Chain A
């Protein structure tokens, strides 16, 4: 239920007989050309950015030279994954109002980042999230914990995007079979490694900016076309969507997806908490704040991001209801059970329908935008996790800080290759994994392990090393274990292991339990430790985070 629809599973077997597949096969050349153009353009940017990348601050933080607006676009490009574009539009098309609930959590979450995290992080950290968590603690244990949690969150997120990418690209190109999917995963993985290893943060940021502009332009075009069909009367669009859905007014009310039983309602509450508290703990989002020169610019970038992301989610509402009204749930479900192809199908319809040239062109454009979306997001994730490996685990834990800048950056590039390889292999083996559960899990881990530790570090004077270690590992382990013992893994036909049943945790999203637990363990760990927090270090962190004195 709840979590299934974000990126959703993409059962390609359902493809047979769908009109999208036929259209995609006929116009594969055009789609491939547009994919190719995007890849060439971004590779050009990457090579250019690679030449500009000279030191560690260039590689990890893009030289801290981006403006608030540029970084706001890049944050949006990092955040609006294929899950948002295809998943939410599809969920609205199939489940009406309940698909919209995701957008709200994903947007409101940015206020946590704006008010509590972005500026202090920019001022007190250097390259990674762990810089802030370890600021006034013993370096090695806290950096180890934060590095592990960064890599775990990023890998979950990365897997979700790559498994989704494999099925999605196969679907959009109209190719069937496991081989095409696997080659897509390999190609996406290789590209993201190239972006990161050669272009560093500069290259990755520009890829995300280009992608954000393409995605917003594509979505805006479709939104205008949909609204024009209803003479810009929103109520008429809603009415048509409700009629076509076969569910009448219920389509426009909450409950179709989540209101089934008491457990699903609690599960939705759990998901809602994870969404709203997870964003400000996602490492690949946090490192974006280091790419601007000042805390003020970091604030500006979040303000831009809130505007862009909010506008985008409002447009997905028009896309989703438009797809329900114009394409209809039957056709959408026949193409993809989770609704992930609703937006491309709508594009084809808006261009003139199946078989028309206009339809084929718009379908190819929107497919290419979806592809660009996936590439930009996976590049951001690879960069954040390899940066944390090199800067936190290798330079500060293994080599105890005795490492040259050159060596550190080289280890980050090697880490990007290694993480890319791991992600490719895991994605191929995890093909059947529920990708949406992975996204929700990434948010839940970020909210349970990273956010409590970040907030305590910044705002609680007494917080100490043991507290930090307890909240990171406690939040991480509890959220992962609760998912292992939920129906995501066993006990249901849709589980990862459908034939086994060892589940005892009733919810699919662990947030309702693991987030309070992360906060609680950080508090208990602090009180149980004999270590006294160093007031001088906290004074320095406070002065630095609020004024920017001594910031990198």
Chain B
């Protein structure tokens, strides 16, 4: 029942996958998207939090009718969240899923240590 259940016998083959060019390319594709985008949206969110706290006059500027900058920037956080989610979905579909599936197909037989469960 111990999990995860890696055993020493299969580690060499998994390490071999880690050393292949196609795996390193997959890792690079993932990290070069996920890391900078994460830093970006956290900074963008912190900018919003700081503006809300320390720039009330700017935030109170009227844009149209009763709609002010604060509301627009708040809604923009929603828009960027939806947009980043959609962007990542597209990126993962094109750049991450195909190489992952290819690596899986090639090495599945060599590395399977637990039968995949029903529904997979």
Residue positions of A touching B, CB distance < 8 A: 56-57, 63-65, 97, 100-101, 104-105, 107-108, 110-112, 114-116, 124-127, 131, 135, 139, 234-236, 238-239, 242, 249-250, 252-255, 258-259, 265, 268-269, 272, 276, 293-294, 296, 299, 302-303, 306-307, 310, 313-314, 391, 395-396, 401-405, 408, 535-537, 539-540, 542-544, 546-552
Bound state CA distance, A401 and B66, in angstroms?
62
Q: Which residue of B lies closest to A404 (CB)?
A: B1
Within B68-93, which residues are at the interface with A (CB < 8 Å)? 68, 70-71, 74, 77-78, 81-82, 84-86, 88-89, 92
Bound state CA distance, A124 and B14, in angstroms?
14
Q: Which residue of A lies closest to B49 (CB)?
A: A272
Query: In the assembled complex, how far is the CB of residue B27 from the closest CB belonging to chain A, in whole angstroms?
Result: 6
Q: Which of A112, A252, A255, A548 contacts B71 (CB 8 A)?
A: A252
Q: Which of B4, B82, B120 contacts A310 (CB 8 A)?
A: B82
Q: Which of B65, B77, B114 contacts A107 (CB 8 A)?
A: B77
Q: Interface size for chain B: under 10, 10 to 19, 20 to 34, or 35 or more residues? A: 35 or more
Q: Which of B34, B50, B111, B118 contacts A116 (CB 8 A)?
A: B34
Q: Which of A127, A235, A396 contacts B67 (CB 8 A)?
A: A235
Contact of A549 with B17 in the complex, beta carbons under 8 Å: yes
Contact of B66 with A548 in the complex, beta carbons under 8 Å: no
Residue positions of B touching A, CB distance < 8 A: 1-4, 6, 11-12, 14-15, 17-18, 23, 26-27, 30, 33-34, 37-38, 41-42, 45-46, 48-50, 52-54, 56, 59-60, 64-68, 70-71, 74, 77-78, 81-82, 84-86, 88-89, 92, 96-97, 100, 103-104, 107-108, 111-114, 116-120
Chain A residues with Cβ below 8 Å from B84 are 111
Chain A residues with Cβ below 8 Å from B120 are 64, 293-294
Q: Which residue of A lies closest to B92 (CB)?
A: A299
Query: In the assembled complex, how far is the CB of residue A288 from the closest CB belonging to chain B, in whole angstroms?
Result: 16
Query: In the assembled complex, how far is the CB of residue A96 from the closest CB belonging to chain B, in whole angstroms?
Result: 10
Bound state CA distance, A405 and B2, in angstroms?
10
Query: In the assembled complex, how far is the CB of residue A202 from the closest CB belonging to chain B, in whole angstroms?
Result: 12
**Taking each of B2, B48, B112, which has the highest tally of chain A beta carbons within 10 Å of its own beta carbon?**
B2
Q: Which residue of B lies closest to A65 (CB)?
A: B119
Contact of A542 with B27 in the complex, beta carbons under 8 Å: yes
Query: In the assembled complex, how far is the CB of residue A58 from the closest CB belonging to chain B, in whole angstroms?
Result: 9
Q: Which residue of A lies closest to B54 (CB)?
A: A265
Chain A residues with Cβ below 8 Å from B41 are 108, 111
Query: Taking A234-B67, A239-B66, A253-B60 as contacts, is the C-beta distance between A549 and B111 under 8 angstroms?
Result: yes
Q: Which residue of A lies closest to B79 (CB)?
A: A310
Contact of A272 with B111 in the complex, beta carbons under 8 Å: no
